[in-house]
Chain A
Amino acid sequence: MTAFTATVTVRLKRGVLDPEAETTQRSLERLGFDLNDLRSADVFELDLDADSADDAAERAEEMAERLLANPTIHDYDIEVTEAE
């Protein structure tokens, strides 16, 4: 078994309104920053032992499907690295 970190990033699907991101963007603009758009995302870092990176990714995907993301409004992606 090898120690991996699976990073699951959960984002709202394109087209789904994100009022918190809009408020954050307005706040940045009030501070004088110039930007075209702002998207927010939740990042989950999962430390787990697995036989391979694929195995770790598969388990992280199941966790995303079952709890971390809501398929009605979210997309997600998974990145697996060997833990340091």
Chain B
Amino acid sequence: MARVTIAVIQFGGSNCDRDAVQALGSLGFDAELVWHEDGLPADVDGVVLPGGFSYGDYLRAGAMAARSPIMAEVREAASEGTPVLGICNGAQIGCESSLTPGAFTTNESARFQCEHVYLRVENADTPWTSQYEEGDVVELPIAHGEGRYEISDDRLDELEAEDRILFRYCDEDGTVSPEANPNGSKHSVAGVTGDAEHVAVMMPHPERATLSDLGRTDGRGVLTGFAD
């Protein structure tokens, strides 16, 4: 594989940034940490918005980071075709900055939830899911207090019609149900794409399920999307 350089953007309060660098490195990517105030390097081939608690989740999770100047650069790079993946807090930042539709807000339980969940692959025809088959069930960890996907019914209908749902929460057998929905997300949505499929956000953590030393590696396929 030709070296692909991926910027993992650190905001004040990011805490999955190094995990993302390690996971991407294990897949042969050239991942680098980029402090948000330093701006987006010109030569990057991809961007990860990592998990964490940027700005202490003040106001709303992701709200502050989404308005930091580097996000204008990320939006511009995304519009020019650079792949962008937002994970967990990065997903909240992605939605807050209009890279992706909808919003992630307080879990139905009103609690922080840290557990493994099953996800059904809804659309295997994106860079982030091309390593899977539609209907595959993958197991990834979640760790969030504000992961409930909210969007208007009309807009969600549009997203579903446009095949922009990447993953839905499900049980081990791939059945989507309220019981298998950990946070009350509308239609069990766990990840969506932006206007173009090379921009995506998801609440579960693929980078925490990539290194075989740590157990399952179901998340590798998502990060491999940067090679497409």
* Chain A residues with a Cβ under 8 A of chain B: 16-20, 22-23, 66-68, 70, 72-73
CA distance A42 to B181 in the complex (A): 28
Interchain CB contact under 8 A, A19 and B110: yes
With an 8 Å Cβ cutoff, the count of chain B residues facing the other chain is 20
Interchain CB contact under 8 A, B110 and A72: no
Interchain CB contact under 8 A, B59 and A72: no
Least CB separation from A67: chain B residue: B67
Question: Secondary structure of the B side of the interface?
Answer: loop
Does any Cβ of A come within 8 Å of B151's Cβ? Answer: yes
Interchain CB contact under 8 A, A72 and B103: yes
Q: Which of A16, A20, A22 touches B150 (beta carbons < 8 Å)?
A: A16
Interchain CB contact under 8 A, A72 and B102: yes
Does any Cβ of A come within 8 Å of B54's Cβ? Answer: no
Interchain CB contact under 8 A, A70 and B60: yes
Hey, which chain B residues are within 8 Å of A19, CB to CB?
Answer: 106-110, 184
Beyond A20-B110, A72-B150, 20 additional contacts (C-beta under 8 Å) are A16-B105, A17-B108, A17-B184, A19-B106, A19-B107, A19-B109, A19-B110, A19-B184, A20-B106, A23-B110, A66-B67, A67-B63, A67-B67, A68-B59, A70-B60, A70-B96, A72-B95, A72-B101, A72-B102, A72-B152
- Shortest C-beta distance, B92 to chain A (Å), equals 10
CA distance A73 to B106 in the complex (A): 11
Least CB separation from B183: chain A residue: A19
Contacts of B88-124 to chain A: CB distance below 8 A:
95-96, 101-103, 105-110
